[in-house]
Amino acid sequence: MNMKKFILIVITFSYLFIQTLYAQGEIKLNQIGFYPDSPKIAVVPGDMGGEFQVIDVETGETVYVSALHAPKSWEFSGEQVSLADFSDLTMPGRYRVIHETAGSSYEFEISDEIFRELSKASIKAYYFNRASTELKEEHAGIWARPMGHPDNVVYIHESAASTERPEGTVISSPKGWYDAGDYNKYAVNSGISTYTLMAAYEHFPEYYKQLSLNIPESENGKPDILDEIRWNLDWLLTAQDPHDGGVYHKVTTKNFAGVVMPHETTADRYAVMKSTSGTLNFAAVMAVAYRIYDSYDPIFAAKAIAAAKRAWDWAVQNPEQYYIQPPDIQTGAYGDRNLSDEFDWAAAELYITTREAKYWNARNFHEINVGIPSWSYVRPLAWVSLAHHRDKLTAASDIDLIEQRIIEQGDELLEEVQRSAYGITMGRYERDFVWGSNGVIGNHSLMLLQAYRVTGDETYLNAARANLDYILGRNATGYSFVTGFGSKPPMFPHHRQSAADGNVDPVPGFVVGGPQPGQQDGCEYPSDLPATTFLDHWCSYSTNEVAINWNAPLVYLIGALEFYSSP
């Protein structure tokens, strides 16, 4: 036998040996991988101590050996775990982390542009959730489907009736994205979702200008992400009543659809109740849209800012029109009885865009704090936009205050990273492991990235990277939470198209809601603990649904990392 053959056999055997000896996935890490120069951490269960090794899967060689960190306990998963830090390994390649008693991780890669495909897929997910259009095979592959929900006939619901538009009036309200696993369109949740995607573009335009998504508009010479966002903005504009500027809370069927494809649902659609929350979300988003679209489509941009101002005026006139779910409507409520944050956010965006002091002066920015963005708490988005524009604001604003707020929030999150056994920001229990916890960690990352942008301190950037590791596998469930990505992704998300289309693989690029102990769906869970109550099953809409507001901070996070980390 020649030497080459011999080496090949040894390599094959040692590889198979490692495969059988060590259970894969026991050691948790980012199942996609790492940039050469970024921190690289795996989580080893138990308190076994000793050394871990990193194995090159092509040669079978051990390329890195080091001691585990001292174990720490994580109350959210009821475990003790030790971190394995192999940040010094920078050589591109495919690897696994092993520990002789704990087992092995899945394979992962070290390379440049490691998240490029994920970046595209996380935006393309919105294309897959487009209402009122066929998805053609050339863009959608095996997830092609006929048009659903034309929404050119939408009835004014009793709750939305006005003199000009009495109950039963037909309006046309096409396009937009389906909110989530369901087929309805909600103004409130559209607000934060659309904003976060626009912020990604506003902060990193060079990155997004060259990112091609293979969507129907890809050849039109405009950045694809802006075409995708436009699909939802076009819908949102139709949700404003032209007679008074108020915005309908949602366009919806009366009940959730069954497990069917979009074109198979024929139930009537209704525009339901104008709400202050929906209207303020609209105002904020349309004010931002002016800034984003003015150079590509000034006619649309002018329409957007005019609509934003009218919406603001309506909200000021109707500050307490809280959404109340009518008795005959069962779909998502997105109810919220504290709208001071929505007022703050809309005021900030209108101020930034128009430079009119009246919007800044409408709110007392000196007295308001930051926090973590969510669909019901949008005040931090005001600070995100103010921070981005801080060098171009008028004398009315206070730049020191803006920077201080962003840094305060970044520091609070870093404290949790220090405390956390997993080295991530999740842990402020009640607030973090809630329905859509993966959206929470996405929004933690969004805020960390703002602190990095303001200070240039890489500690914030590294914490955001660690949070992406969590989403992609460095978590107590062992799942990569994004469909189609990683060795153990969700296969049965609560997403009607994925469940009804006959494909084995779900629509890719969606982050699922993530672990939280509420169990509001009554499914059988393997655990009651906050960080492990998760089920990859259709049944689990409280942990395994997808939603536009959870994908958006993921899009932002990945785009930012690609922007900062790729050569």
- CA distances (Å), origin 51, targets 64, 197, 422: 10, 42, 18
Name the amino acid, one letter, at 115.
F
Asked if residue 332 binds ligand G3I (CB under 6 A), the reply is: yes
Q: Kind and range of the H or E element at 387? A: helix 379-388
Please name which of 453, 456, 450 lies closest in space to residue 413, comparing C-alpha atoms: 450
In the range 349-388, which residues lie near ligand G3I by CB under 6 A? 376
Q: Give 254-319 as a 3 state SS string.
A: CCCCCCCCHHHCCCCEEEEEECHHHHHHHHHHHHHHHHHHCCCCHHHHHHHHHHHHHHHHHHHHCC
- Among 179, 241, 403, 536, which residue interacts with ligand G3I (rule: CB under 6 A)? 179
Is residue 547 within 8 A of residue 436, CB to CB? The reply is yes
Is residue 175 within 8 A of residue 288, CB to CB? The reply is no
Please name which of 318, 316, 323 lies closest in space to residue 159, comparing C-alpha atoms: 323
**Cα gap 382→236, rounded to integer Å:** 20
Q: How many residues does the chain have?
A: 567
Binding segment for ligand 9MR among 178-186, 241-249, 315-323, 497-505 (CB under 6 A)?
178-186
Binding segment for ligand G3I among 67-75, 221-229, 337-345, 428-436 (CB under 6 A)?
428-436
Asked if residue 251 binds ligand G3I (CB under 6 A), the reply is: no
Catalytic machinery residues = 182, 494, 536, 545
- Among 296, 435, 492, 563, which residue interacts with ligand G3I (rule: CB under 6 A)? 435
| Closer by beta carbon to ligand G3I, 301 or else 555 | 555
Asked if residue 439 binds ligand 9MR (CB under 6 A), the reply is: no
In the range 515-534, which residues lie near ligand G3I by CB under 6 A? 518, 520
Cβ-closest position to ligand 9MR:
182
Please name which of 333, 331, 332, 326 lies closest in space to residue 157, comparing C-alpha atoms: 326
Asked if residue 430 binds ligand G3I (CB under 6 A), the reply is: yes
- Among 434, 466, 511, 552, which residue interacts with ligand G3I (rule: CB under 6 A)? 434
**Cα gap 22→126, rounded to integer Å:** 38
Tokens of 155: 């009835």
Is residue 325 within 8 A of residue 333, CB to CB? The reply is yes
Nearest-approach distance from CB 215 to ligand G3I, in angstroms:
23
| Closer by beta carbon to ligand 9MR, 275 or else 462 | 275
Q: What is the DSSP string of 499-510?
A: HHS--SSPPTTP
**Cα gap 77→298, rounded to integer Å:** 51
Measured between alpha carbons, how far apart are the two ends of the chain, in Å? Answer: 44
Asked if residue 545 binds ligand 9MR (CB under 6 A), the reply is: yes
The item of ligand G3I, ligand 9MR, none sharing an interface with residue 435, based on CB under 5 to 8 Å by kind, is ligand G3I
Beta carbons within 8 Å of 355's beta carbon, 6+ residues apart: 393, 394
| Closer by beta carbon to ligand 9MR, 74 or else 481 | 481
Cβ-closest position to ligand G3I:
332
Asked if residue 73 binds ligand G3I (CB under 6 A), the reply is: no
- Among 131, 160, 180, 512, which residue interacts with ligand G3I (rule: CB under 6 A)? 180
| Side-chain-side CA neighbours of residue 437 (13 Å) | 29
List the 72-74 sheet strands across, edge first.
41-45, 79-85, 72-74
Is residue 215 within 8 A of residue 139, CB to CB? The reply is yes
Asked if residue 330 binds ligand G3I (CB under 6 A), the reply is: no
The item of ligand G3I, ligand 9MR, none sharing an interface with residue 256, based on CB under 5 to 8 Å by kind, is ligand 9MR
In the range 324-343, which residues lie near ligand 9MR by CB under 6 A? 332
- Among 56, 79, 151, 182, which residue interacts with ligand 9MR (rule: CB under 6 A)? 182
Asked if residue 256 binds ligand 9MR (CB under 6 A), the reply is: yes
Asked if residue 128 binds ligand 9MR (CB under 6 A), the reply is: no
The item of ligand G3I, ligand 9MR, none sharing an interface with residue 430, based on CB under 5 to 8 Å by kind, is ligand G3I
The item of ligand 9MR, ligand G3I, none sharing an interface with residue 380, based on CB under 5 to 8 Å by kind, is none
Binding segment for ligand G3I among 37-45, 142-150, 431-439, 480-488 (CB under 6 A)?
431-439
| Closer by beta carbon to ligand G3I, 518 or else 526 | 518
| Closer by beta carbon to ligand 9MR, 332 or else 559 | 332
Interface residues with ligand G3I (CB under 6 A) are 179-180, 182, 332-333, 376, 430, 434-436, 518, 520, 541, 545, 547
